[in-house]
Structure 1
Amino acid sequence: MSTRLPDIRVGDILEVAEGYYCFGLGRLILEVIELGRRERHTDGLWLHLRGVELQHPDGVRLRQRRVIVRLDAVTVRPGPLSRRAAHPAGRRADQQQPADRRQPAPFDGTTSPRRAHLPRRPDWTCAGCGEEWPCPAQQARFLSRYQHNRLALLSHLGRYAALAAADLPDLSPEELRTRFLDWPGGSPTG
């Protein structure tokens, strides 16, 4: 039985788990800006592409990246610049994504409470509890998620600190470091 490979176009947003792209840590969310060649490897068909990495969960654009992704492990959705129909009804039946591969609905304040503790910009307060972000609930989630890779956690928090520095110019570097990087404690490796 063959697996139908996704139709990827410039402007689409791809989501791929850590083990199915080269190279990086964690899940990758990428807005495609250039498609490259396909390569067959022992584990499947891979695609070279260039795109803009998007930060999860808020979609902030981080940087351009060149990656290679395994096609049968990619989730594709239309991006704001995609020429594909943004509404699923605009797709042909053979282009519909299976229910387990669809993107979750954006947070609207009534869905899963675990999504509620997101940063509200530009003041960097928590959308769920109103405290300074990252709030204690989000800190606990980060510590749980990155419990075996403290260096990845600090890297992730460093990206948030850089964004917050632009939004909160009155905060000193020491205050930013304390708020975003000091609370995990321990050594970066563990």
Structure 2
Amino acid sequence: MLPSASAGPMPEYPRYRTENMPPHTPLRPMWSCRACGHPWPCAEARLLLKVEFDRRCPALSIYLAGLMYEAMHDLYHLNPHDGPSPRDLFERFVAWGPYRRPAVEVRE
């Protein structure tokens, strides 16, 4: 028997905090921002994540992909018939992240 998959990464980034406002981390299982209520990652969270992972682009991509997996699990469990599409979740969580080079060099 294969071992069951463990839970993905905990949404602990961005770590930037202020005294009078909640952090821009996701509120699970709805995956909305604790601070502004927009779908997470909100614009502020994206900016803070890019700054926090400035020189660790692969780590940011892995972190976002793991959270996308967790969001798929939560959101499809909440609403299995009308949840977001995999493409929408990819664009929301991963596509905005670090610059990616094309797999094949384009020659002119």
Short-chain TM bin: 0.5 to 0.7
Equivalent AA in structure 2 for residue 177 of structure 1: F
Are 1:147 and 2:54 matched, yes or no? yes
Equivalent AA in structure 1 for residue 67 of structure 2: Y
Report which structure shows greater RCO (CA 8 Å, sep ≥6).
Answer: 2
Change (3 A) 1:149 1:121: same
2:12 match: secondary structure: coil
Instruction: Please say which structure displays the higher CA radius of gyration.
Output: 1
Structure 2 residue corresponding to 1:177, chosen from 90, 93, 100: 90
Structure 1 residue corresponding to 2:43, chosen from 136, 140, 143: 136
Superposition map of 1:49-88 within 5 A: 55=10, 57=12
Structure 1 runs (4+) deviating above 6 angstroms are none
Q: Which of the two has greater strand per residue?
A: 1
* RMSD between superposed Cα atoms in Å: 2.7
Q: Which of the two has greater helix per residue?
A: 2
Unaligned runs of 5+ in 1: 1-51, 59-106
Superposition map of 1:13-52 within 5 A: none
Give the distance between the partners of 2:65 and 2:11, measured in 1 at CA.
Answer: 14
TM-score normalized with structure 1 length: 0.40
Are 1:120 and 2:33 matched, yes or no? no
Unaligned runs of 5+ in 2: 1-6, 77-82, 102-108
Give the distance between the partners of 1:54 and 1:153, measured in 2 at CA.
Answer: 12
Give the distance between the partners of 1:150 and 1:133, measured in 2 at CA.
Answer: 19
Q: Deviations 1:123-144 (Å, cap 9, x if unpaired)?
A: 1110100101001111011100
* Number of aligned positions between the proteins: 86
Q: Deviations 1:108-136 (Å, cap 9, x if unpaired)?
A: xx8364x5211011111101001010011
Given that 2:26 and 2:33 are in contact with CA atoms closer than 8 Å, whether structure 1 keeps it comes out as: yes
